[in-house]
């Protein structure tokens, strides 16, 4: 799964990387502790090209009467994405890329203490998570919402968690965004073992109120 991540790439650099037109109001960067329900950076594609937008992290199905009417859907399992009522329409027609620099997962010590790990690309490039999105609400309350697609962890990350976000390589972005026709289902599998690296980080990140670049630095304590 993915419950917290970091984004440090400037907005203009994100727009350039994804060849996307940036929205006028995008979340402030850097943010070293992005949490569920935050506004996050999302790349979507339409007939007018790619757009870099701000969406709520926490997918809201159309039948939710309020933001808290059901479970907080921050992740969507790739294995059931096309079948679950909440996600099946979005899986077919509303796929997106969610931009990150790295993400956090937790293990437990023998004493039960939560130990955070920071996971990032070995080549230090930004990460593009596969995502799905949904507009929710009406009139002035209308907002875009999204979830990160997850898959079984590859061998490299399985020692930390049994799930991981679906990480897409640049050559796969057009297919996931629907620009290259059908067949996106073939992308929904664990990525290569040699793409991501990880290290322990300060337990300060256990708090969703923590902030600052120290949260992603190696920690030996």
Please report whether residue 142 resides in a domain.
yes
According to DSSP, residue 15 is labeled H
Number of H helices, E strands in the chain: 3, 13
**What's the predicted TM-score (pTM) here?**
0.97
Q: What is the pLDDT of residue 109?
A: 87
- Could you give the CA distance from residue 54 to residue 31 in angstroms, rounded to a whole number? 14
* 35 contacts 208 by C-beta, under 8 angstroms: yes
Q: What is the pLDDT of residue 65?
A: 95
Question: Can you tell me whether residue 127 is helix, strand or coil?
Answer: strand
Q: What is the pLDDT of residue 118?
A: 98
pLDDT, tens digit, for every residue of 9-26? 999 999 999 999 999 999
Domain count, the chain: 1
**Helix ranges, the chain (H):** 11-17, 88-93, 173-176
52: CATH: 3.90.1680.10
Please report whether residue 201 resides in a domain.
no
Please report whether residue 211 resides in a domain.
no
Give the residue numbers marked as catalytic.
2, 105
Domain with 173, as residue range(s), is 5-102+124-192
Please report whether residue 84 resides in a domain.
yes
CA nearest neighbour of 176 among 213, 132, 216, 138:
132
Please report whether residue 53 resides in a domain.
yes
């Amino acid at each position: 799964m993915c419950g917290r991540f970091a984004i440090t790439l400037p907005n203009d650099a994100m727009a350039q990387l994804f060849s996307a037109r940036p929205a006028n109001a995008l979340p402030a960067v850097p943010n070293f502790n992005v949490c569920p329900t935050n506004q996050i950076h999302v790349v979507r594609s339409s007939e007018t090209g790619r757009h870099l937008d701000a969406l709520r992290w926490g997918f809201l199905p159309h039948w939710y009467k309020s933001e808290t009417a059901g479970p907080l859907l921050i992740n969507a399992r790739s294995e059931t994405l096309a079948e679950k009522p909440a996600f099946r329409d979005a899986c077919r027609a509303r796929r997106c890329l969610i931009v990150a620099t790295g993400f956090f997962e937790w293990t437990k010590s023998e004493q039960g203490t939560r130990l955070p790990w920071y996971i990032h690309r070995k080549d230090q490039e930004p990460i593009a998570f596969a995502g799905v999105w949904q507009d929710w609400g009406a009139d002035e309350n209308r907002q875009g919402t999204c979830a990160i697609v997850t898959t079984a962890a590859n061998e490299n990350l399985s020692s930390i968690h049994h799930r991981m976000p679906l990480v897409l390589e640049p050559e796969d972005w057009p297919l996931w965004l629907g620009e290259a026709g059908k067949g996106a289902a073939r992308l929904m599998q664990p990525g290569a073992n040699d793409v991501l690296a990880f290290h322990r980080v300060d337990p300060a990140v256990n708090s969703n109120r923590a902030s600052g670049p120290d949260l992603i630095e190696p920690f030996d304590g």
